[in-house]
Amino acid sequence: MIEDKEQLQPETFSPFQMENSALVYVNGQKNVIMGDEEEPILKECRRRFILFPIRYPDIWDAYKKAQASFWTAEEIDLSKDRYDWDQKLNNDERHFLSYILAFFAGSDGIVNENLNERFATEVQVAEVRCFYGFQAMMENVHSETYSLLIDAYIKDPTERERLFDAINSVPSIKQKADWALKWISDTQSTFAERLVAFATVEGVFFSGAFASIFWLKKRGLLPGLTFSNELISRDEGMHTEFACLLFQHLIRRPHSDTIQEIVKEAVSIEQGFLTDSLPVSLIGMNSALMCQYIEFVADRLLVGLGSEKVYNSANPFDFMEMISLEGKTNFFEKRVSEYSLAMVDHSSAQNKSSKLFTVDDEF
């Protein structure tokens, strides 16, 4: 069932609206739920071609924040990583990290396909399109970085090709990819439901992998990988936060039960992946702890989407406290790698007049 800010009676709808709407029963009464075509941010409007004046300052600020965080794969120094990979990791650790990198190598391309094929064409708000356009570029940088990491670490051509093709050849990774891909081709679910699904892809499917690499940083290993992980996890955190922000702008939102069902399905898949990729216990890291961590981040996402927690699991990793979205320290606001383009103003365009330098100022 869908929650709406306003329930409208059938007779208030045109034939076109009735065709593109759903009938539901609320408190025993038949009601019509508007289709996605009537959602304000999805409703076709010629204003989508014009950026100013900014109508959604919070969305614009999110775009400017992302813009200020841009980086490129050339800035990642992998010169010391190969020695750590060959000499300081054992076979179980290399197996685990190979699976992590294999998932990442294809996942950003899937996110981009959704942005290009669905979200960026469906949303009719210029500020949102700005963010999605920049997100797509960031995902390209992430994809290039993970491909370079696999190239640097995996020297056997057959194994390297297997990892590059993992979304097809490794069952637990394929299951994650297939789950994300099904939402791209889904023509029955609402935009809001698909927004929740891809917030879950970036907020849940990516979180276990990020945690595993932060675990390496705690041990002082693979500095190139761990630095790129700081940057990429920051970026993906911004993307997840943006999905939650955009969700709050929707009138037609899924019922909390539907949101929880989507997230729980993804959690189950992610826990299966972690059990498969981490078959043995490593120092300070095992599949049980990772599965608990996934429940923790899933609850965090649910709260961000205005839903109730499902798992009430504690964060089992002390080294991950710094990227918790809860508490006084927010990793995506105060991060270890303060990499930001200094000349980009994050503030809303509506507030720029007070910050411009002019020769009329009194000093």
- CA quadruple 183, 303, 112, 222: dihedral positive or negative? negative
Q: Which residues pair with 32 in a beta bridge?
A: 8, 23
> What percentage of the chain carries pLDDT values higher than 90?
40
Between 73-82, 97-106, 281-290, the lowest mean confidence (pLDDT) is in 281-290
pLDDT of residue 117: 87
> What percentage of the chain carries pLDDT values higher than 70?
75
**80 vs 279, higher pLDDT:** 80
Peptide bond into 53 cis (omega under 30): yes
Instruction: List active site positions.
Output: 146
Per-residue pLDDT band for 288 (boundaries 50, 70, 90) equals: confident
Q: Is the pLDDT reported for residue 86 higher than 80?
A: yes
Q: Is the pLDDT reported for residue 323 higher than 80?
A: no
Q: Is the pLDDT reported for residue 346 higher than 80?
A: no
Rounded Cα–Cα distance for residues 97 and 228 (Å): 14
Long-range contact set of residues 346-354: C-beta below 8 Å, sequence gap at least 24: 346/61, 346/64, 346/65, 346/68, 347/61, 347/64, 348/54, 348/57, 348/58, 348/60, 348/61, 349/52, 349/53, 349/54, 349/57, 349/60, 350/53, 350/54, 350/57, 351/57
Q: What is the pLDDT of residues 197-220, one digit of tens each?
A: 999 999 999 888 888 888 888 788
Q: Express the helix, strand and coil content of the chain in percent, nearest 5 each.
A: 65, 5, 30
Q: Is the pLDDT reported for residue 345 higher than 90?
A: no
pLDDT of residue 322: 53
Q: Is the pLDDT reported for residue 27 higher than 70?
A: no
User: Which is nearest to 62 in space by CA: 251, 324, 332?
Assistant: 332
Residue 218 in tokens: 């705690």
pLDDT of residue 311: 95
For the chain, report the end-to-end CA distance as a whole number of angstroms. 60
Mean pLDDT value of segment 153-173: 88
Rounded Cα–Cα distance for residues 28 and 253 (Å): 20
Q: Is the pLDDT reported for residue 97 higher than 50?
A: yes
String of DSSP letters for 260-285: HHHHHHHHHHHHHHHHHH--S-BTTB
Between 57-61, 247-251, 349-353, the lowest mean confidence (pLDDT) is in 349-353
Mean pLDDT value of segment 209-237: 88
Mean pLDDT value of segment 64-92: 91
Between 64-73, 106-115, 142-151, the lowest mean confidence (pLDDT) is in 106-115
Mean pLDDT (the chain) is 78
Strands 22-26 and 29-33: antiparallel
Q: Is the pLDDT reported for residue 333 higher than 90?
A: no
Q: Is the pLDDT reported for residue 302 higher than 60?
A: yes
Taken as a whole, the chain contains a residue count of 363
pLDDT of residue 342: 47
